[in-house]
Amino acid sequence: MTEFGKTFTVTETAIPGLLVVELPVHGDSRGWFKENWQREKMVAAGLPDFGPVQNNISFNETVGTTRGIHAEPWDKWVSVATGRIFGAWVDLREGDSFGTVFTIEIDPSRAIYVPRGVGNSYQTLEPATSYAYLVNDHWSPEAEYSFLNLADETVAIDWPIPLDRVEISAKDRDHPRLSDVTPVSPRKTLVIGAGGQLGRALRAEFGDTDRFEYATRADLELGARALDSTRSWRDYDTIVNAAAYTAVDLAETAEGRTDAWAANVHGTAALARIAAEHRITLVHVSSDYVFDGTKDGQYTEDDAVCPLGVYGQTKAAADAVVATIPRHYIVRTSWVIGDGPNFVRTMTSLAARGIAPRVVADQVGRLTFASDLAGAIAHLLRTGAPYGVYNVTGSGEPRSWADIARTVYRLTGYDPALITGVSTAEYFAGHAGPIAPRPRNSLLSLDRITATGWTPQDADAALSAHLAASADVDA
Contact 452, 380 (CB under 8 A): yes
Distance (Å, whole) CA 443 – CA 392: 10
**Distance (Å) of CA 221 to CA 193, 243, 268, 310:** 10, 10, 11, 22
Distance (Å, whole) CA 309 – CA 405: 25
Q: Which of 131, 133, 329, 414 is catalytic?
A: 133
Distance (Å, whole) CA 339 – CA 282: 24
Distance (Å, whole) CA 212 – CA 194: 11
What separation, in Å, do the N-terminal and C-terminal C-alpha atoms of the chain show?
A: 79
Contact 470, 348 (CB under 8 A): yes
Burial 332-344 (b: 16+ CB within 10 A, else e): bbbbbbbeeebbb
Other CB atoms within 10 Å distance of the CB of residue 11: 10
Amino acid at 383: T
Handedness of CA 161, 165, 167, 172 (dihedral sign): positive
Amino acid at 336: V
* Residues constituting the chain: 475
Q: Which of 13, 11, 10 is nearest to 102 (CA)?
A: 13
Does the annotation count 133 as an active-site position? yes
H helices present in 47-190, as ranges: 170-173
3-state secondary structure of 383: helix
Burial 306-318 (b: 16+ CB within 10 A, else e): ebbbbbbbbbbbb
Contact 86, 60 (CB under 8 A): no
Other CB atoms within 10 Å distance of the CB of residue 408: 25
Backbone φ/ψ region at 346: left (φ over 0), alpha (ψ -120 to 50), beta: alpha
Amino acid at 302: D
Distance (Å, whole) CA 98 – CA 355: 62
Does the annotation count 70 as an active-site position? yes
3-state secondary structure of 191: strand
Where in the sequence numbering do the catalytic residues fall?
Answer: 70, 133
